[in-house]
A and B are shown apart, each in its own frame.
Chain A
């Protein structure tokens, strides 16, 4: 559909160019918009306090000195924008990515149809915008079968950690954080803006790589310090989930931009 619309748009543009008599000189090829756009690749390294995340088997120590392991780490990244130093902003359409640490491919995000330019920063959302939370059944990253959609209280789980900690009062020592909410004061949606150490130079023939780090430890540290003996089970939308979203808003940092 998009391609068809796009072609239609191009032909409409051509027609309207003729109407306005702004016909480019014949010897010059028509600008081919499709071919001048490129990609930017994002690689995400999920870590805990700087150490690579390894599900199930590895144990980590939180800033509260709690020992824990991680079984599930999943989150949405959506509505990616790339910004240049002069303020030009490219906004990707249909920009929804589900990062699932158990699926290595999901750690690589390919941002599409990026116009050639020198980008100096990125904006994105952790979670799924409110519109898609109320628009019925979705596909791809937003398919409810990805286990990131609440069935009893419609809406996406923006980010999720499940694991174990000896400090958890839960009988099986589980720690569970399903953070959702797409509107109101307890919303789990957070906007992230990150500056690059050097420009990412996108051309039609060159795909720069943005290396990001997502640190689970941040979920429990700043600005709302928590430990697993008091905060170990969050599966609804309330002050506790909002506090955790305020924390995970800080989990990303830029490692490098490789051109």
Chain B
């Protein structure tokens, strides 16, 4: 029925576009479509059960930036996920929720999330559509219930209109909310960095970037695997913060203690501070950790035993390379910005 409705709805839109320009999704400047860049693996999530439409995307965009999702209407997804920081939280080791409460982990970036097999630093959330439940219901983040979210959105004239455009009628339910947010987050693609352009032959690395890339492939890419710059596995990288057991919190296995998911390094220049607890503010600090800061515990990743040997020149070369992962188009793309 949903498919039939959406087909009906699409034809309705197609029809109405020609007769009533006001029905058009006025805030979409470019086409919204599913992207799998050349050479990338098959995404974990596609939109086969969540047909991607400009109006679905637009609803997701409104929801993402709307503090109505929080208990006191002060915190939105976008409060902590800032576009200029690749949707990480610039300058915050950990982020503020409602009532000034602090979380325990660093806000992760949102980009290319359709390739993520799991969500959160500990991988506790298993699907993009149920991912927003975590921050919405967490008492130190948005501290709200889905029952209240549905009630507040149902009472809103603006959302009645947005849900009708996206789904054909104004019924609000959690599935419609989550699918719309998945349309917005799932189309946050970052694949237009200098690195990507070098790979496609449009641009070339400088000598230093090339030297950094060569080192990166030798010393970093077994975990930060191209082209997504993560293997999405869980690893103890020798940070050791005993208060947070990481992956073990989810699996209950002692062998998973202090393991966290390998983060992508795309847009790394913009996503400081770094690590699951946001302890490092510069890329230099991160590299120094791998050179001389590794703390050995039984679950330490075997690849990091003894650290990674890098001299000062190596470090600046690698950082020069990492900056080629910055995707200015993504960071400034008006389709992802807050709707004013």
Contacts and interface: CB of A to CB of B under 8 A. Distances in A.
Contact of B133 (A2, A4, A133, A151): A151
16 contacts: A2-B1, A4-B4, A134-B126, A134-B127, A135-B127, A136-B49, A137-B174, A137-B179, A139-B175, A143-B173, A151-B130, A151-B138, A152-B124, A153-B250, A154-B127, A237-B252
A162 to B, nearest CB: 16
B276 to A, nearest CB: 15
A30 interface: no
A127 B215 CA distance: 50
A153 B128 CA distance: 13
A241 to B, nearest CB: 10
Contacts of B137: 151
Contact of A155 (B120, B126, B145, B182): B126
Classify chain B: how many residues form its interface, as a range.
20 to 34
What 5 pairs across the A-B complex have the smallest Cβ distances? A136-B129, A145-B146, A1-B1, A137-B178, A154-B126
A133 B138 CA distance: 20
B283 interface: no
Contacts of A153: 124-125, 249-250
B91 to A, nearest CB: 26
Interface of B: 1-4, 49-50, 120, 124-130, 133-134, 136-138, 145-147, 150, 173-175, 178-179, 182, 249-250, 252
Contacts of A16: none
Given A4-B4, A138-B175, A139-B175, A144 B124 contact: no
Interface string A223-259: 0000000000000111000000000000000000000
Contacts of B175: 137-139, 143
Nearest to A184: B251
A137 to B, nearest CB: 4
Contacts of B125: 151-154
- Among B120, B130, B147, the one with the most A-chain Cβ atoms within 10 Å of its Cβ is B130
Nearest to A152: B124
Contacts of B126: 133-134, 154-155
Nearest to B5: A1
B174 A143 contact: yes
A126 B133 CA distance: 24
Contacts of A4: 1, 4
A60 interface: no
A149 B147 CA distance: 13
A237 B133 CA distance: 19
